[in-house]
């Protein structure tokens, strides 16, 4: 067993590393730490593994990245033994995969479930983190890894009268484990983001009436989901290394049919045919049709107009169709992937209410009030999203050197070095933190890249007898400037999305993920490591 970080009794820590969260990031982090001989514990608020896929059990929940790529690649045997059944896995299957991984590597014995971290304080004199759990138990660790997820703290708007409503309320990101039967019910759904777009067609099949309250219309592309044939699965399994390598070479870390050419180089007939072909094939591949769609507003309009034509073709009522046509840049908010979303508005018991100009007034005992109209419901679904990227971190009172809190340090927006660390918070790492490609990429490869980088870093520190690593303010500043510079070049930073924190009142408007692409980002991380962790101070 390799030596741990703990050398003398006064230095004693409970664990070399404490990991917060047992989603895909926390599970793989534990796996790597164990194999390096570090003592580690994972703290998880839920009752089992899975993170995002543990909590988001709303009807119709599925991944919008193709299943064969939304999986770990660190173990070739795992890759071969697991078989996905559909093009886009439904939530239960992804959760089953997470459980399979936990069983296969016997991870649960080092995970404490139903246990929430409330605070983490760095003690400079002892060079350790003291982590407080709900109930005030304290644990010490040399390093803390925040594997808390990018979309894990749900956001429920502070509607007046929210406690007066007598029916049932649900948030898509905190769905009851036993499911919900809406049969015969009058249901209201607030929000039209990805969670709403996936759940609305399924809820509509059960509900007596379904009323959707839309503040911003969203673009969504048909999934064309289907069972995977054994031949296809066999082909993928036989060529996994090539598929993964191709994915890593693309900005999204996701192997899609990526065309770097400009839409302006081709005729209208040609690009419309390309969009049609991608629309028929389904999925986020649509946005990879031309290289300038996210950089040039005119180019973007060609794709946006095509989708609007599809909406008008699908939705029978022209007024509803117009309401469903987004007015912003396609891909500015995250592109959604659906099954029968637009067609659902052709059903006689489904209606759409525009709340863009006049917000929802309040909830009432019987439903809600909007623009002078009272709506009566048996159940209301909040599909209102998350306090993305920083919410789960701020939910813990994290204090670094001199007792400075992360909330204070990031009051004007997150400041990180590579999205992995933040100056003044030594030995604290964030997996897929703000300032890293994270949510703009396929999360699984991004998680693995971060976990590998952190694990390699800890092993390197141990081998050289270093106990403390802290990002330097200069390196952090330079990285932040680069993150902002590349964000400014993209249309993605121009609209009120959760990427910029616009969905949470009072949150600073900063484009949080790194948009420079997966390969460029990985090269930078590798370069930093190869130069003995350039930009970090070591002690």
Q: Which stretch binds ligand NA7 (CB under 6 A): 67-75, 288-296, 379-387, 508-516?
A: 379-387
Instruction: Find the angle CA(340)-CA(236)-CA(57) to the nearest 5 degrees.
Output: 40
CB of residue 535 to ligand NA7, shortest distance in Å:
30
Q: What is the DSSP string of 171-213?
A: EGGG--TT----TT-EEEEE--SHHHHHHHHHHHHH-SEEEEE
Query: Is 223 among the residues that bind ligand NA7 (CB under 6 A)?
Result: no
- DSSP letter (8 states) at residue 57: -
Total count of residues recorded for the chain: 539
d(CA 428, CA 416): 11
Nearest to 398 by CA among 433, 363, 450: 433
Question: Are 461 and 469 within 8 A, CB to CB?
Answer: yes
What phi and psi values does residue 4 have, to the nearest 5 degrees? -90, -175
CB of residue 522 to ligand NA7, shortest distance in Å:
21
Cβ proximity to ligand NA7: between 385 and 426 the closer is 385
Q: For 158-178, b where at least 16 C-beta lie within 10 A, e where not — what string? A: ebeeeeebebebbbbbebeee
* Tokens (6 digits) for 499: 């990427």
What phi and psi values does residue 143 have, to the nearest 5 degrees? -125, 150
d(CA 144, CA 147): 9
Query: Is 207 among the residues that bind ligand NA7 (CB under 6 A)?
Result: no
CB of residue 185 to ligand NA7, shortest distance in Å:
21
Q: Which stretch binds ligand NA7 (CB under 6 A): 99-107, 123-131, 187-195, 448-456?
A: 187-195
d(CA 297, CA 304): 10
Nearest to 27 by CA among 87, 59, 60, 72: 72
Cβ proximity to ligand NA7: between 426 and 513 the closer is 513
Question: How many residues sit in the footprint of ligand NA7 (CB under 6 A)?
Answer: 22
| Residue 210: strand pairing partners | 187, 350
Query: Is 194 among the residues that bind ligand NA7 (CB under 6 A)?
Result: yes
What phi and psi values does residue 35 have, to the nearest 5 degrees? -65, -25
Q: For 68-86, b where at least 16 C-beta lie within 10 A, e where not — what string? A: bbbbbbeeeebbeebebeb
From residue 292 to residue 331, what is the string marking binding to ligand NA7 with x (rule CB under 6 A)? ----------------------------------------
d(CA 255, CA 289): 13
From residue 490 to residue 529, what is the string marking binding to ligand NA7 with x (rule CB under 6 A)? --------x----x--------------------------
128-167 residues in contact with ligand NA7 (CB under 6 A) are 151, 157
Query: Is 190 among the residues that bind ligand NA7 (CB under 6 A)?
Result: yes
From residue 331 to residue 370, what is the string marking binding to ligand NA7 with x (rule CB under 6 A)? ---x--------------------x----x----------
Query: Is 216 among the residues that bind ligand NA7 (CB under 6 A)?
Result: yes
Query: Is 172 among the residues that bind ligand NA7 (CB under 6 A)?
Result: yes
From residue 430 to residue 469, what is the string marking binding to ligand NA7 with x (rule CB under 6 A)? ----------------------------------------
Cβ proximity to ligand NA7: between 187 and 196 the closer is 196
Q: Which stretch binds ligand NA7 (CB under 6 A): 74-82, 188-196, 249-257, 414-422?
A: 188-196
Residues at the site binding ligand NA7, with contacts judged by CB under 6 A: 151, 157, 172, 190-196, 213, 215-216, 334, 355, 360, 383-386, 498, 503
């Amino acid at each position: 067993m390799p030596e741990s970080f703990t050398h003398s009794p006064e230095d004693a820590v409970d664990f070399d590393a404490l990991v917060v969260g047992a989603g895909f990031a926390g599970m793989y982090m534990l796996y790597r730490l164990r194999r390096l001989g570090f003592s580690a514990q994972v703290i998880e608020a839920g009752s089992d593994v899975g993170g995002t896929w543990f909590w988001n059990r709303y009807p119709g929940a599925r991944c919008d990245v193709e299943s064969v790529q939304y999986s770990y690649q660190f173990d070739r045997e795992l890759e071969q033994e697991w078989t996905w059944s559909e093009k886009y896995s439904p939530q239960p299957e992804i959760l089953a995969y997470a459980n399979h991984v936990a069983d296969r590597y016997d991870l649960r014995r080092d995970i404490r479930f139903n246990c929430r971290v409330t605070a983490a304080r760095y003690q400079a004199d002892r060079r350790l983190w003291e982590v407080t759990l709900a109930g005030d138990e304290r644990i010490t660790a040399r390093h803390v890894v925040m594997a808390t997820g990018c979309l894990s703290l749900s956001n429920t708007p502070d509607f007046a009268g929210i406690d007066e409503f007598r029916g049932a309320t649900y948030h898509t990101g905190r769905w009851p484990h036993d499911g919900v039967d809406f049969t015969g019910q009058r249901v209201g759904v607030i929000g039209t983001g990805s969670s709403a777009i996936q759940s609305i067609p399924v809820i509509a099949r059960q509900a007596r009436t379904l009323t959707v309250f839309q503040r911003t219309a969203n673009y969504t592309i048909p999934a064309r989901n289907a069972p995977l044939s054994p031949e296809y699965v066999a082909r993928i399994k036989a060529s996994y290394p090539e598929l993964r390598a191709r994915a890593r070479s693309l900005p999204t870390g996701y192997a899609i049919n990526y065309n770097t050419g400009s839409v302006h180089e081709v005729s209208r007939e040609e690009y419309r045919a390309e969009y049609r072909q991608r629309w028929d094939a389904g999925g986020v591949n649509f946005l990879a049709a031309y290289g300038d769609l996210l950089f040039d507003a005119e180019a973007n309009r060609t794709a946006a107009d095509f989708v609007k034509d599809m909406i008008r073709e699908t939705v029978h009522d022209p007024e509803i169709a117009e309401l469903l046509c987004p007015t912003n840049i396609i891909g500015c908010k995250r592109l959604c992937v659906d099954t029968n979303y637009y067609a659902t508005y052709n059903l006689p018991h489904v209606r759409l209410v525009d709340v863009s100009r006049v917000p929802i007034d309040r909830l009432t005992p019987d439903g809600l009030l909007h623009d002078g109209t009272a709506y009566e419901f048996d159940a209301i679904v909040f599909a209102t999203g998350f306090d993305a990227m920083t919410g789960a971190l701020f939910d813990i009172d994290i204090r670094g050197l001199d007792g400075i809190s992360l909330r204070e340090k990031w009051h004007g927006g997150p400041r990180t070095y590579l999205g992995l660390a933040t100056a003044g918070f030594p030995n604290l790492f964030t997996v897929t933190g703000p300032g890293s490609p994270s949510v703009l990429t396929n999360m699984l490869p991004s998680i693995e890249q971060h976990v590998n980088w952190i694990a390699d870093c800890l092993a390197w520190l141990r081998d050289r007898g270093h106990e403390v690593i802290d990002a330097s303010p200069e390196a952090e500043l330079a990285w932040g400037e680069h993150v902002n510079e590349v964000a400014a070049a993209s249309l993605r930073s121009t609209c009120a999305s959760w990427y910029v924190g616009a969905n949470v009142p009072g949150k600073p408007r900063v484009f949080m993920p790194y948009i420079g692409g997966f390969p460029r980002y990985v090269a930078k991380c590798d370069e930093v490591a190869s130069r003995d962790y350039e930009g970090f101070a070591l002690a």
